[in-house]
Amino acid sequence: MKIVRGVLVVVFVLLVEQTEAFIIDHARLCEATHVSHGFRRDTFQKEAIHYCYPTNITNGKCEALDARAGIDCTQFGENYVLQGGLGKQRASCCEKKGIILTNCTIQPRIFSHDKDIDVMYFERVLTKLISIKSAADPKSFEIELCTPKYISSTTPTPTPTNPPPPPPVPSKLDFQ
């Protein structure tokens, strides 16, 4: 009986240690050519897992900020978006080249750091994670999402006023 209890204790300790040692990408920073499309966290995880997807836009300037009180990427400029986490409760906001942010709205759903978090957004970008101080849940927050509008170039392509002449029609002599 003592051996069985000892084995159970060892198995339990190993399970607890493995749970604590989960490989969680809590400090993931999206690459310069990627954009964040959300983050998830189950209640058993210490940190959220950040997700990125590749795009044809790149980063301009990036800024780090303390994320303990929330995230407001717009404090750095109009086109700054959440680029990912830096670990130790810090985040990175980056200006994205080739876009302007439009249709920025606070989402109606409220999230909580004490519950499972599933914040996924496609074709939109996160600019703010706003901490909400409430007696019911002091760890609740809401998010602001914006729609990126892609701009092709800062210099417009000129439209030709006189189209070029058509190519010459081959004659019988050209083939001899």
Instruction: Identify the DSSP state of 123.
Output: S
Q: What is the mean pLDDT of residues 14-29?
A: 39
CA distances from 20 to 56, 118, 143 (A): 37, 21, 29
Tokens of 4: 């069985």
Total of domains in the chain:
1
* Domain-located, residue 168: no
For the question of whether the overall pTM of this predicted structure is more than 0.75, the answer is: no
* Domain-located, residue 30: yes
Amino acid found at 123: E
* Domain-located, residue 156: no
Cα separation, 55 vs 29, whole angstroms:
15
* Domain-located, residue 173: no
- Residue 22 confidence class, pLDDT cut points 50, 70, 90: very low
Cα separation, 75 vs 7, whole angstroms:
55
What is the per-residue pLDDT for 163?
52
Which SS3 state, helix, strand or coil, does residue 65 take? strand
**Other beta carbons within 10 Å of 143:** 22
* Res. 78: pLDDT tops 60: yes
* Domain-located, residue 159: no
**pLDDT tens readout for residues 124-151:** 999 998 888 788 888 888 999 999 998 8
Instruction: Supply φ then ψ for residue 75, to 5 degrees.
Output: -65, -20
What is the per-residue pLDDT for 143?
92
* Domain-located, residue 65: yes
